[in-house]
Amino acid sequence: MKIICLQENLKNSLNITQNIIGRNLILPILNNVLLTTKDGRLQVSSTNLEIGINTWVSGRVEKIGAITCPAKALTGFINSLPNKKIELEVKVNILTVKCENYKASFNCLSAEDFPIIPKITDDSLIEIKNSILKDALLKVVGAASSSESRPEITGVLFSFGKKELKLAATDSFRLAEKSIFEIHKKSDIIKSLIIPQKTVQEAARILGEKTGETKICLGASQILFDSGDVQVISRLIDGQYPDYQQIIPKEFSSQAIIERSELLNVIRAAAVFSNKTNTIKFSLSDGEIEVLSQDADLGENKSKLAAETKGKKVVIDFNYRYLLDGLGNINTKQIFLGLISDASPAVMKPVGDESYIYLVMPIRAN
Amino acid sequence: MKIICLQENLKNSLNITQNIIGRNLILPILNNVLLTTKDGRLQVSSTNLEIGINTWVSGRVEKIGAITCPAKALTGFINSLPNKKIELEVKVNILTVKCENYKASFNCLSAEDFPIIPKITDDSLIEIKNSILKDALLKVVGAASSSESRPEITGVLFSFGKKELKLAATDSFRLAEKSIFEIHKKSDIIKSLIIPQKTVQEAARILGEKTGETKICLGASQILFDSGDVQVISRLIDGQYPDYQQIIPKEFSSQAIIERSELLNVIRAAAVFSNKTNTIKFSLSDGEIEVLSQDADLGENKSKLAAETKGKKVVIDFNYRYLLDGLGNINTKQIFLGLISDASPAVMKPVGDESYIYLVMPIRAN
């Protein structure tokens, strides 16, 4: 194998692919990236057996071939080079990299032993602008569960509807749902899939750096995010996602419109006195929200917030971290807060944007 | 005690003072800041028994007094408040803080039990512009030793000469020395003191945010950095600092002028192959520096660098981390590298700036 390419292009590809590579002692080849000449370009691929990433570097292929090279070392070395022409050449499992006055040799492993990253050749289910998809993924992914006791909620639910894509995630303490209506192209298929949290994070990280569109395609038991020069392929999570729609309240006994930045400050101030349990108490009454917290050793806090309220008085305890997470996903100036009782889920929504909803379960006193 | 002040002023003071406060389980009062009304202002102080910090907040004192309040909690709460008037009031060891619609009560400890931060009333040894002092402190502090087996080199040596202040630090593997000649005012006293590394870091952090000058004053066994609205008081380290001047080479058998950014890149590239021992090999010969590194598992690297050289060929092994640290302290475009042999210290200096010198000991093969 021999190929000549530009440092910057190779650097970008390596930095995208190497992120999913950990330190695998059982299968050392998983610490490597796969370099393959393909259709006159260099394909750079990585996998952790759950997610695979393919990227391409344009260049001049002088001899076709394939090899796998330690990812962190190759990335570290390429990152140190000037943005000039790089020559990569493989002889008997040694990759030699030359760039101006720099030269390095890497001991490599054969490409034949590299795990196969599944190919997905199906037509796309949907095409969405990268910036919109990234924003939507980040608004839900934090709510997914990190406990393996219920694997089906460790992922994000993708529901491909007639005209929209709905994303949802929950860890049973809170739930986030985001609908994407700005869709470039949509097939007729109506389907729901559970995508691992780590895949969603990687897709958001990689797509966030790109302009253009991403195609989402479906394989036998994989999903593909394809933005043209980067592909993220992932396994799906088996299982039945909970029917969460039924727990989203439609009517409230008490509701308020609140300035988002003021609510953030009041919660942060209350958080100081909730160290041990993370509990803060909301009291929503006529034209006002009172936030209380106390700590036996430290002291207590009581802050008030003017709000446009409606309905009866409700007093409810929250884990303030869940509230901050939800507020972090909302960027409108005002938010809607809907309550039913101290034992029912509370709803937060951006005012003027019906595409996002964040549910928080209260902390029950007993 | 009762005082009214602006949120931003109190916030700044707390953020400066709370940094040295850890989590002290044996002496809980060390987790607190001391708040004292003094000369119509609020004095905010902290101590970890090695370093003390005093700052002042202007405001309206309505009732004099003093109290100590948990530092992290008070800082967290004040940081969440809007930049408006804050009322602080103490009744029976409870500090109540009010600001618009926010109100908190903190359980406090009596000011009488707070450790005394020594007062230094002597005249100043020296006065230096903050930006110059900060820059000089940061150029040496990283070279101080972190091992307690030789306490005298865990600090930075301050040598007050006739017309200059010389700072030096070493961990016996490398040494940094910076001379400050840009001095506003200097007493006749000629003296050498060892200041703890942590104090130097704190002084650099705090002074770096301020314009103006810092006075350095000397107490019985303390030193004071006084920038007017902030004071850092620290114990000194006892002991005899090594007579390091004698090991600084004055003549070299081989020397080079090198582009700093190119040298950085070559070292970073070589570092990739030096994971286990951090060793990279420099070979300085006619018009060129060759940098070599190898790793039995990974492979090897050989990079070349054009340089203005003089003298005979020298081959020498370095710990690349020490070289990177030194280069990080030099901001000129070119650096001077002086070598004697593979067993003698190497010297790095900024070209055109005689005030800084960085020595690195080589790694000996046997």
Q: What would the CATH number be for the domain defined by A124-245?
A: 3.10.150.10
B100 Ramachandran zone, left/alpha/beta (phi>0; psi -120 to 50): left
Chain B residue numbers with beta carbons less than 8 Å from the beta carbon of A90 are none
Is B269 within 8 Å of A104 when comparing Cβ atoms?
yes
Backbone torsions φ then ψ of B42, nearest 5 degrees = -105, 120
Shortest CA distance from B103: residue in chain A: A302
Amino acid at A95: L
Q: What is the CA radius of gyration of chain A?
A: 25
Q: How does pLDDT run across B276-321, given as a tens digit for each residue? A: 789 999 999 999 999 999 999 999 999 999 999 999 999 999 999 9
Q: Which residue of A92, A101, A324 is the best one to mutate when testing the B interface, meaning the one whose CB has the most B CBs within 10 A?
A: A101
Is A73 within 8 Å of B302 when comparing Cβ atoms?
no
pTM for the full model? 0.91
State whether residue A307 is helix, strand or coil: coil
CA dihedral in degrees (B251, B256, B261, B262; nearest 10)? -150
* pLDDT of amino acid A366: 53
What distance in Å separates residue A226's CA from the closest CA in chain B?
32
Is B80 within 8 Å of A107 when comparing Cβ atoms?
no
Chain B residue numbers with beta carbons less than 8 Å from the beta carbon of A304 are 101-102
For residues A21 and A30, the answer to whether their CB atoms sit within 8 Å is: yes
β-strands A346-350, A85-91 pairing: unpaired
What distance in Å separates residue B239's CA from the closest CA in chain A?
42
Tell me the average pLDDT across B59-76.
Answer: 97
Q: Classify domain A2-113 at the CATH topology level.
A: DNA Polymerase III; Chain A, domain 2 (3.10.150)
Tokens standing for residue A103? 């030269």
* pLDDT of amino acid B188: 85
Q: Where are the beta strands (DSSP E) in B146-221?
A: 155-160, 165-170, 174-180, 185-186, 191-196, 213-218
pLDDT tier at B365, thresholds 50, 70, 90:
low
Domain boundaries, chain B: 2-113, 124-245, 248-360
Exposed, middle or buried: residue A23 (CB in 10 Å: 0-12, 13-18, 19+)?
exposed
Is B300 within 8 Å of A105 when comparing Cβ atoms?
yes
Shortest CA distance from A101: residue in chain B: B304
Q: How does pLDDT run across B220-269, given as a tens digit for each residue? A: 889 999 998 999 999 999 999 999 999 999 999 999 999 999 999 999 99
Backbone torsions φ then ψ of B118, nearest 5 degrees = -60, 145
Chain B residue numbers with beta carbons less than 8 Å from the beta carbon of A299 are 73, 94-95, 104-107
Nearest of B191, B166, B184, B222 to residue B53 by alpha carbon: B222
Give how far Cα A349 sits from Cα of A183, A248, B226, Å. 22, 12, 51
* pLDDT of amino acid A277: 86
pLDDT tier at B13, thresholds 50, 70, 90:
very high
State whether residue B197 is helix, strand or coil: helix
Residue B55 has pLDDT above 80, yes or no: yes
Is B101 within 8 Å of A304 when comparing Cβ atoms?
yes
Report the alpha-carbon distance of residue A155 to residue A304 in Å, rounded. Answer: 37
Shortest CA distance from A103: residue in chain B: B302
In the CATH hierarchy, which top-level class contains the domain B248-360?
Answer: alpha beta
Strand order of the sheet with strand B334-339?
B191-196, B155-160, B165-170, B174-180, B356-360, B346-350, B334-339, B254-259, B308-311
Give how far Cα B142 sits from Cα of A172, A295, B170, Å. 48, 40, 9
Same fold yes or no, A2-113 and A124-245: yes
Tokens standing for residue B306? 């054009």
Q: How does pLDDT run across B68-78, given as a tens digit for each residue? A: 999 999 999 99
Chain A residue numbers with beta carbons less than 8 Å from the beta carbon of B104 are 269, 272-273, 299-302
What distance in Å separates residue B62's CA from the closest CA in chain A?
23
Q: What percentage of residues in chain B have a pLDDT greater than 90?
A: 89
For residues A308 and A257, the answer to whether their CB atoms sit within 8 Å is: yes
Q: What is the interface size between A and B, counted as CB pairs within 8 Å?
A: 98
Nearest of A1, A17, A2 to residue A205 by alpha carbon: A17
Report the alpha-carbon distance of residue A45 to residue A42 in Å, rounded. Answer: 10
Q: Which residues contact B27 (CB under 8 A, 6 or more apart)?
A: none
What distance in Å separates residue A304's CA from the closest CA in chain B?
5
Half-sphere exposure of A289 (CA within 13 A, CB side): 28
- Quick one: DSSP state of residue B240? P
Nearest of B365, B326, B352, B363 to residue B140 by alpha carbon: B326
Q: Which of A103, A268, A306 sits opposite B302 (nearest CB)?
A: A103
Report the alpha-carbon distance of residue B61 to residue B105 in Å, rounded. Answer: 19
For residue A120, what are the β-bridge partners? none
The pLDDT profile of chain A, 366 residues, written as one tens digit per residue, is 999 999 999 999 999 999 999 888 899 999 999 999 999 999 999 999 999 999 999 999 999 999 999 999 999 999 999 999 999 999 999 999 999 999 999 999 999 999 999 998 877 889 999 999 999 999 999 999 999 899 999 999 999 999 899 999 999 999 999 999 999 888 888 899 999 999 999 999 998 888 899 999 998 889 999 998 999 999 999 999 999 999 999 999 999 999 999 999 999 999 999 977 899 999 999 999 999 999 999 999 999 999 999 999 999 999 999 999 999 999 999 999 999 999 999 999 999 999 999 999 999 865
Is A301 within 8 Å of B105 when comparing Cβ atoms?
yes
- Touching A: B residues 255-314, CB under 8 Å: 265-266, 268-269, 271-273, 297-306
Q: Which residue of B18, B23, B32, B77 is the best one to mutate when testing the A interface, meaning the one whose CB has the most A CBs within 10 A?
A: B77
Is A269 within 8 Å of B73 when comparing Cβ atoms?
no
Chain A residue numbers with beta carbons less than 8 Å from the beta carbon of B105 are 299-301
Element (H, E) at B148: none
Backbone torsions φ then ψ of A87, nearest 5 degrees = -110, 125
Give buried/exposed letters for A181-201 (b at 16+ CB in 10 A, else e).
Answer: eebeebbeeeeebbbbbbbbb
For residues A80 and B265, the answer to whether their CB atoms sit within 8 Å is: yes
Exposed, middle or buried: residue B297 (CB in 10 Å: 0-12, 13-18, 19+)?
exposed
Nearest of A68, A116, A157, A120 to residue A233 by alpha carbon: A120
* pLDDT of amino acid A325: 97
Tell the residue number behind the tokens 């195609």, with chain if given. Answer: A215
Is B303 within 8 Å of A73 when comparing Cβ atoms?
no
Tokens standing for residue A258? 């609140």
* pLDDT of amino acid A24: 86
A88 touches chain B (CB under 8 A): no
ipTM confidence score: 0.89
Q: In terms of CATH, what superfamily is A249-360?
A: DNA Polymerase III, subunit A, domain 2 (3.10.150.10)
Nearest of A83, A23, A18 to residue A44 by alpha carbon: A18
Is A298 within 8 Å of B103 when comparing Cβ atoms?
no
Q: Which of B79, B102, B269 sits opposite A80 (nearest CB)?
A: B269
For residue A265, what are the β-bridge partners? none
Amino acid at A160: F
Chain A residue numbers with beta carbons less than 8 Å from the beta carbon of B302 are 103-104
Half-sphere exposure of B265 (CA within 13 A, CB side): 18
For residues A260 and A273, the answer to whether their CB atoms sit within 8 Å is: no
Q: Which of B76, B299, B302 sits opposite A106 (nearest CB)?
A: B299
Is B77 within 8 Å of A301 when comparing Cβ atoms?
yes
Tell the residue number behind the tokens 């000469």, with chain if given. Answer: B161
Tell me the average pLDDT across B337-359.
Answer: 96
Tell how far CA A328 is from the center of its chain: 14
Is A77 within 8 Å of B269 when comparing Cβ atoms?
yes
Shortest CA distance from A306: residue in chain B: B101
* Length of chain B measured in residues: 366
Q: How does pLDDT run across B168-210, given as a tens digit for each residue? A: 999 999 999 999 999 988 888 889 999 999 999 999 999 888 8
- Quick one: DSSP state of residue A214? E
Outline where chain A has alpha helix (H). Answer: 7-17, 71-80, 130-140, 197-207, 260-271, 320-328
